[in-house]
Structure formats: structure tokens, C-alpha cells
Structure 1
Amino acid sequence: MTTPPTVLVMDLGGVTCRWLPDRRLAALSALSGLPPATIDHQVFESGFDDAGERGRVALDEFTRTLASMLGLETGSPTDRALRHAWGQAFEPDPEVLRVIGEARARRALFTNNGPLLEAAMAASDDLAPVREAFDELVFSWHLGITKPEPEAFARAAERLGAAGGELVLVDDSEANVAAAAHAGWHAHRFTTVADLRTALADL
């Protein structure tokens, strides 16, 4: 990077956190008694979660619909249980968080996730290190569009108040990295912590 960017933008699953979707399915299965494969089909393969990620379903509606899919009573206890279960897909990576903490740049999270994950992150002690590592959290549902759509990067840059050349995305998806670069961002594909530390040495 010849001109270091001023805003570090990190992906969540597979980068800042270990991505453990089976653990979330197991937690939802324990709540509902439904097989994980059934939940996977109803909630994820059906496009329901994708609608949440794209901002088409607000938190209350998303939670009520999810509870109904799982055969659960609606109400505060169920809401809390669903937030906890939803957050089980993410396990903070302490080594990555250490590298993020060493960066002098502004730090932002940019993730393809919906309102339930945002609520889970706000409520979870386990995810507190992630929440506290960033100056700003950008969820795709805020933007109404997901990575790697080009407009997602334009809207994220606007939300962060920065031009593309001021931003560097760290993501494990080749498609997201390519789209960010096409949008004028700096972009680095995450592979290892050591490689990340080298890539961000100037930040």
C-alpha cells in the first residue's frame, strides 16, 4: 500500500471471528427440538435469513417469524434465547483482534448480517471483544444490500464518511475483495494472522 488508508474495514465471519454455522444450528435445534437440517432449510436455504441481511425484515418481525418457524412461543424469554443461539455462529479470534487493536486507523466492521445478529452482538458477553474492537459497526441490513454487490461498497463508504481510497477491506471472500478493489477501495484477502499483520503494518 503506497498511500496507507485511514479506515480499516474488517469482515466478521471467517476473519474477525471463526465462522461456526453448525454451532448455531445446534443451538437452534436445542431450543426447538427440530433437526438441524430442517432448520437450515427453513431459515437459511429458504432465503429468509438473506432477506434479513438485505434489510427487508426488521428485528421484531424477523424474531417473531423465526420463533414461529421453530415452533416457539413469542416473548422476551424467546427473544433472548434466539439472540444467544444466533450469536453462536461466531467465535472471536483473539489473535485477529490483537492485530486490529494495534492499528492506528479508524476501525470498522462490515458484515453481511441482519438485525438479529446485531442484537445478539449488543447483548452477548462472548461477542463483547468484537463489539469493543471497532469504532463503527456496519451491517448489510443497514444498507439494504450485501457484499459483493458494488452498491454495498458505495453505501458503506458513505456511511463511514470516507472515499474509497481511504478504506481498506479485509475479507476472506475473493469476490468481496475483488468488488471492493473495483470500487476503489484498498483490499486484502485474509488468509493467516501473520499475513494480516504484515499487510496492515502501515496502518
Structure 2
Amino acid sequence: MTIQAVIFDIGRVLIGWNPEGFYDRLMPRSERERMFAETGIEDVNLSIDRGAPFRETIFALAERHPEWADMIVKWHDNWIDMAQPVIPHSVRLLRALKARGIPVFALTNFGAETFEIAKDPYPFFAEFDRAYVSAHLGVLKPEPRIYEIVEEDCGLPPGGLLFTDDKQENIAAAAARGWHVHQFDRPEGFAARLIAEGLLTEREAA
């Protein structure tokens, strides 16, 4: 079936997402690993991606772990420093597809407030034809329901969708529904896939 829309994950596809690197610049790696393990901050972030309030959730975690409180609060206060840099070639691919008239969607595990925060430094967030944000939907990748929501909302058949994401489990869940998929590693690889599918020329994908 002809691909009718291309769906991008955001973190580690269009922009960086590297909380480990951010904290490793502030403390020894071993200390960061201990903090992450003792506080469960990554699982707490998933609850934000599911729709929990950003500030209240992070500050409540800081109260529960006073030893790490100052560092935990940085997850809120310095969040944008973890969500960078932009991946320019990926953004060029998004824009080249749009210039071709191919609908471009986002499907992302992202908090509601953090998605708004990111719109200013990353104006291309406003360029998606549709943005499916986990916190708005109350469901996370790779849960099947989030893929169902995309299908129901866009009205396109699964075989008409091409989805790229850096996580194998997210790709596998989409493939199980009949979507075309590409596990993202580098933008050059996805560019080659778009060329192979006839969606872009080599020049457009450069």
C-alpha cells in the first residue's frame, strides 16, 4: 500500500533527549546512577508523559528524597537542557516531506507542559499536520491503544503509515498493527528509507 503519511517520534529523532548526560556534567556518573536508581526519576518522568502535572510531580519527588532534592528539582528547572540539541537533518526531512504535500505527524511520549516549553526553542513543533502527544491522550507508547488513537483520528489505514522511532519496542508495536516502520538510528538512515519508498529524491533528502 502507498504510504500516505509519515509519523515521527520526537525525542532522539528530531531533538536530543539525554538526561544522563546532563546530570553527568553535574556529578560523578556513579552518583547520578545511584540517584536515578534510588529516586526512580525516569519512571516518574513516564508518569508525566502519561499526563501527571510536571512541576507538582517533580517537586513531590524531591520532597520524598531530600538527599537528592536539589538535583531532582533541576529536572524541572533545567528540563530544556536535557531535551537538546535539535537534529537538523531530521527537521529537513520533515520539511521536505511537507513540501511534497505528504502529511507529517508526531507520535511522542511527552508531557503536556514540557511539550509547550519545547515549542519556543523548537518552532518546527508547530509544523506537524497532527501531533499525538501521550500526555494529551493519557496513554504511552508502546501500549496498543495509542496506535489505535492515531488510526482513528487520522482516518488512514495502517498500511498507509510510515513510523520512525528510536525504540525497538515502539516500532514493534506499530509493526504489529500493520504500519510501515523504521527504527531510527541516524537521520541518514531514515533519509535512505524515504528515498527507497519514493517519498523523497536524493536531493530532497540531503
Smaller-chain TM-score bracket: 0.7 to 0.9
Partner of 1:186: 180
Deviation (angstroms), 1:190: 1.5
Counterparts in 2 of 1:36 and 1:6: CA distance versus 1, 3 Å: same
- Aligned residue for 2:159, secondary structure, equals helix
Residue number among 87, 94, 99 corresponding to 2:88 in the alignment: 94
2:123 is matched by which residue type in structure 1? A
Deviation (angstroms), 1:133: 3.9
Structure 2 Cα separation of the partners of residues 121 and 159 of structure 1: 24
1:49 aligns with 2:45: yes
Structure 1 Cα separation of the partners of residues 185 and 21 of structure 2: 22
1:161 is matched by which residue type in structure 2? G
Structure 1 Cα separation of the partners of residues 184 and 118 of structure 2: 22
- Aligned residue for 1:108, secondary structure, equals strand
Q: Any conservation in 2 of the 1:24–1:85 contact (CA below 8 Å)?
A: no
- Aligned residue for 1:14, secondary structure, equals coil
Structure 1 Cα separation of the partners of residues 39 and 137 of structure 2: 25
1:106 aligns with 2:98: no
- Aligned residue for 2:78, secondary structure, equals helix
Q: String of CA shifts for 1:8-57, please: whole Å, max 9, x gaps.
A: 10011221122222355479x79xxxx75576343624x322222223x2
Partner of 2:78: 85
Residue number among 137, 158, 161 corresponding to 2:155 in the alignment: 161
Structure 1 Cα separation of the partners of residues 5 and 157 of structure 2: 10
Partner of 1:8: 6
Structure 2 Cα separation of the partners of residues 48 and 175 of structure 1: 20
1:94 is matched by which residue type in structure 2? P
Partner of 1:67: 59
Structure 2 Cα separation of the partners of residues 67 and 19 of structure 1: 21
Structure 2 Cα separation of the partners of residues 135 and 38 of structure 1: 41
Q: String of CA shifts for 1:80-128, please: whole Å, max 9, x gaps.
A: x976622222221001111111113111111112223212123x32x22
> Which structure 1 residue ranges, 5 or more long, are not aligned?
72-80
Q: Any conservation in 2 of the 1:86–1:116 contact (CA below 8 Å)?
A: no
Q: Matched residues, percent identical?
A: 25
> Which structure 2 residue ranges, 5 or more long, are not aligned?
64-73, 200-206
Counterparts in 2 of 1:137 and 1:24: CA distance versus 1, 3 Å: farther
Give TM-score, length-normalised by structure 2.
0.73
Give TM-score, length-normalised by structure 1.
0.74
